[in-house]
Amino acid sequence: MRQIRHVSMLVVLTAGLLSWPYPGTGLAAQAAQAVRTKIDVSKLGPQVGQTVPDFSLTDQNGKTWTRQSIMGPKGAMLVFYRSADWCPYCKTQLVDLQSRLDALRAQGLGVAAISYDSVPTLAEFASRRKITLPLLSDAGSATIKAFGILNPLPEMAFGPEKDNPEVIAELQKYVAGGRPSPSWAGIAFPGTFILDPQGRVVSRFFEDYYVERSTFSNIMLRLGKAAAPVTATKVTGTHLTLTTYPSDSIIAAGNRFSLAVQVQPQPGVHVYAPGASGYKVIALSLKPQPFVRVLPMTYPASETYFFKPLNERVPVFQKPVTLVQELVLEGTATAQAAYRGKESITIEGALDYQACDDKVCFNPVSVPLSWTMSLKALVTERAPRPPQ
């Protein structure tokens, strides 16, 4: 195969948390039970198809917003986060969201982010970081509770359950490596909801660790609505044309991002999809790298191909498809120390496949690929504190 062009790119990471069953009633009892039975973040808060609660919240500029006023022509993206004051993963996430604001609005989505922070706290952060998207203040956490995503663990850390090993383990996974501050009571489990214009959940994104968050470019790529990549690598061969790029050119610790591979078979050619027994299924293999976690590959729907000479039916890809490989740049203290001072990260691998036409299967092929992404630091600065 002939490589047409290769371009370097950057990557950034963030972290995500969990939420409680929806609707948000009996939260304390649910919280204690959830800790004992292990939390499944995929089941917390409004689910796909459910309508989210309405609300009336004030942003950093004193403007009041409701669920309906946030809506764009195609719906809305609601981002719940912990704090724009003390949470570096949240602050990094908000800066990322601001950078994607025009692209999200071009998709017809209204955008807002919600936390328990006060209006003055939000105003200070927005001014310092030039954030124009609505940062909504849910002081008192009424909306967070109504959504069923209140994180009760900060309160439990100072209550009767504080020495419970299960509570301590959940705190380290969903709140902080050490004891949280009492002022953290009222935070949400971080997560993102995509809503239709009627306020129903179309999709939702929550992660299993407080330092991890999906980037917003990754979310849109997973939804099939990614903007055209600024740079990409194109490889043209006898049987396939490949175009590959990362969801993000710059990433940070804790970011969940993707590598996309667009596969265009030549006319009359197919490659094998998952479930094709006895054939080499197209797959992306990545070289192991410290502090980079590879998640399961996302495959699009395949077609059924009838191979008359053998009288068999097999799942294949004959039309252009995009394979999406998600990864996490880990955000632990050890991982951050390992990448401190480095400007970029390169991920190497290969796309392995076997192409066939209606008469013959060709030899298996392995196409080497690589992606280089810039690294950025987490946003850690806080507003000045008054003298004690």
Interval 248-264: pLDDT, tens: 999 999 999 999 999 99
Q: Is the pLDDT of residue 20 over 70?
A: no
Q: Which pLDDT value is given to residue 167?
A: 87
- The whole model's pTM is what? 0.87
Q: Which pLDDT value is given to residue 161?
A: 85
Report the distance separating Cα 353 and Cα 326, nearest Å. Answer: 19
Q: What is the DSSP letter of 229?
A: P
Q: Which pLDDT value is given to residue 369?
A: 97
User: What CATH superfamily classification does 2-10+225-375 receive?
Assistant: Thiol:disulfide interchange protein DsbD, N-terminal domain (2.60.40.1250)
Q: Which pLDDT value is given to residue 75?
A: 98
Q: What is the CATH code for 18-206?
A: 3.40.30.10
Q: Which whole number is the average pLDDT over 266-288?
A: 95
Q: Which pLDDT value is given to residue 384?
A: 74
Mean pLDDT for all residues in the chain: 88
Q: Tokens 């100072």 correspond to what residue? A: 158
* SS3 call for 168: helix
Report the distance separating Cα 344 and Cα 204, nearest Å. Answer: 30
Report the distance separating Cα 118 and Cα 125, nearest Å. Answer: 11
Confidence of residue 388 (pLDDT cuts 50, 70, 90): low
Give the sheet arrangement for strand 283-286, strand by strand: 250-251, 365-375, 344-353, 283-286
Return the ∠ at Cα 175 (arms to 157 and 332), rounded to 5°: 135
Domain boundaries of the chain, sorted by first residue: 2-10+225-375, 18-206
Confidence of residue 30 (pLDDT cuts 50, 70, 90): low
Where are the strands (E) in 163-268, listed by range? 191-195, 201-205, 209-214, 233-236, 240-246, 250-251, 255-265
Q: Please tell me the least confidently modeled range out of 38-47, 114-123, 270-279, 312-321.
A: 38-47
Tokens of 113: 């982010």
